């Protein structure tokens, strides 16, 4: 193996650039050329290839987003376009591929590697931190720190005006961000998809908190909570608690941006290097992760089908 490709796919995550840097440095150290594929699987289909070298990765470890750009590709779902992508890899003499992304990215990679018997290694990059096979995915630590910073600032204004704030964080299918940032931000209540907590229960708890003379109340809501997002929930609560001064904030894509934390940068360096090593050892169809501080390889089929569960020990803080 003397030439490998790398692409970033799906939602961006802080630390992707640090992983790209690690892969390129590992490739250089192993005398392997590294080819960057722009715009994810879309760029693979269209042959958007650029060679990456020491100059390409200078001063990118601290940058959020991805220098290779990212995209979600509907065309890659069709075999004819996957064949076109394989032709580009063959014509450019690329022997292996490293993909950075989440569940959807690994689904596409798994189908591709089985169809064409092509070596692919995945690196978990998703702020949701819901991938099976790793304790942490790249971007999660930065996202929760961004959320905690926002919650702290909203708390200041909530206390100044004796308000109840509903704060919505990302997590359509996972409550990881809401649970950890809510605990760290001292939220009075946290609503996540993994636990059932209806509006009636919420209203009762909010009344009790108000009766205990709480000057501010923060409720953190995962966007995928079964009762709906923060705006829907707050509108229902207003009907039952008309005397409450209620405000709602959605953090949205601010959680995806910003400089990656130290933890995300170090994790990205570890996983980038491990991905290159795995390719050189002839491995394929695997995701590299960190479990109990050690590198672990997990088959795509498991990382796709299974979902990383939330830490049940944290639920007692709700």
Contact 118, 86 (CB under 8 A): yes
d(CA 106, CA 128): 15
Contact 119, 283 (CB under 8 A): yes
CB atoms within 10 A of CB 194: 20
Residues, the chain, total? 318
Which of 110, 108, 103, 92 is closest to 37 using CA atoms? 92
Contact 220, 165 (CB under 8 A): no
Name the 3-class secondary structure at 230: helix
Which of 94, 127, 122, 128 is closest to 108 using CA atoms? 122
The single-letter DSSP state of residue 254 is: G
d(CA 210, CA 216): 9
Contact 314, 177 (CB under 8 A): no
Contact 124, 57 (CB under 8 A): no
Rg (Cα) of the chain, in Å, rounded?
Answer: 22
- Known catalytic residues are 128
């Amino acid at each position: 193996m003397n030439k490998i490709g790398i692409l970033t796919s799906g939602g961006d995550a802080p630390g992707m650039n640090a992983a790209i840097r690690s892969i390129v440095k590992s490739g250089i150290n192993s005398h392997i050329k590294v080819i960057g594929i722009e715009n994810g699987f879309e760029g693979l289909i269209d042959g958007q290839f650029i060679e990456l070298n020491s100059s390409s990765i200078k001063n990118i470890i601290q940058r959020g987003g991805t220098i290779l750009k990212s995209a979600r590709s509907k065309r890659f779902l069709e075999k004819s376009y996957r064949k076109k992508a394989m032709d580009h890899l063959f014509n450019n003499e690329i022997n292996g591929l490293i993909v950075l992304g989440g569940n959807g990215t690994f689904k596409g990679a798994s189908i591709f590697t089985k169809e064409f018997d092509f070596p692919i290694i995945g690196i978990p990059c998703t702020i949701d931190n819901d991938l099976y096979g790793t304790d942490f995915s790249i971007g999660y630590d930065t996202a929760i720190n961004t959320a905690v910073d926002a919650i702290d600032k909203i708390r200041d204004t909530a206390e100044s005006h004796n308000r109840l704030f509903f704060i919505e964080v990302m997590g359509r299918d996972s409550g990881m961000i809401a649970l950890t940032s809510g605990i760290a931000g001292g939220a009075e209540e946290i609503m996540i998809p993994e636990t059932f907590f209806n509006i009636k229960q919420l209203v009762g708890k909010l009344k009790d908190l108000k009766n205990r003379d709480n000057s501010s109340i923060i409720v953190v809501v995962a966007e995928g909570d079964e009762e709906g997002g923060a705006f829907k929930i707050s509108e229902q609560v207003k009907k039952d608690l008309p005397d409450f001064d209620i405000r709602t904030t959605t953090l949205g894509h601010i959680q995806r941006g910003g400089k990656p934390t130290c933890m995300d940068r170090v994790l990205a360096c570890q996983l980038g290097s491990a991905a290159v090593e795995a390719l050189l050892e002839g491995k394929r169809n695997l995701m590299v992760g960190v479990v109990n501080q050690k590198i672990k390889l997990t088959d795509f089929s498991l990382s796709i089908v299974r979902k990383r569960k939330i830490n049940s020990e944290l639920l007692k803080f709700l």
